């Protein structure tokens, strides 16, 4: 990743991701998310409790971060605590957010007729069919 000195914890996480063949971009993103979590904590992330993870999720939600970003962070933290630290007590209390899907816009029969009318050539026009 970089030529700088890497902490043993970060090195362990990178090795765990490499063993599982996570893509380089995924590895980079996971490292960044754990780094952001550590900055939020103000200490090493391996000292975090379930309450710390919960507070971080609340912080993300309150700061207007979107559902996909929160879920990516949950996925990262689950990997970090389950695989790298083997702290299953934290993992079992983290959950993904399910966002309601929006229904597609359905056109009325009149709107469909107007759309087709606008797209089809009119009789007597100079448009030739092929």
pLDDT digits (tens, 9 = 90+) for 95-114: 888 887 888 888 888 988 88
* One-letter-per-residue 3-state SS of 9-71: HHHHHHHHHHHCCCCHHHHHHHHHHHHHHHHHHCCCHHHCCHHHHHHHHHHHHHCCCCHHHHH
Q: What burial class does residue 45 get, using C-beta atoms within 10 Å of its C-beta: 0-12 exposed, 13-18 middle, 19+ buried? A: buried
Q: Which domains are seen in the chain, by residue range?
A: 8-100 (1.10.150.130)
Q: What's the pLDDT tens digit per position in 13-63? A: 999 999 999 999 999 999 999 999 999 999 999 999 999 999 999 999 999
């Amino acid at each position: 990743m970089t030529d700088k000195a890497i902490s043993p914890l970060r090195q362990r996480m990178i090795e765990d991701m490499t063993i599982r063949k996570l893509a380089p971009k995924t590895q980079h993103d996971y490292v960044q998310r754990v780094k952001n979590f550590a900055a939020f904590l103000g200490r090493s992330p391996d000292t975090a409790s379930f309450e710390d993870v919960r507070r971080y999720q609340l912080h993300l939600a309150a700061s207007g971060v979107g559902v996909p970003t929160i879920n990516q962070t949950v996925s990262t933290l689950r990997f970090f605590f389950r695989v790298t630290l083997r702290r299953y007590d934290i993992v079992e209390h983290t959950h993904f957010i399910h966002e309601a899907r929006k229904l597609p816009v359905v056109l009325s029969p009149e709107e469909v007729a107007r759309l087709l009318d606008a797209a089809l050539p009119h009789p007597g026009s100079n448009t030739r069919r092929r």
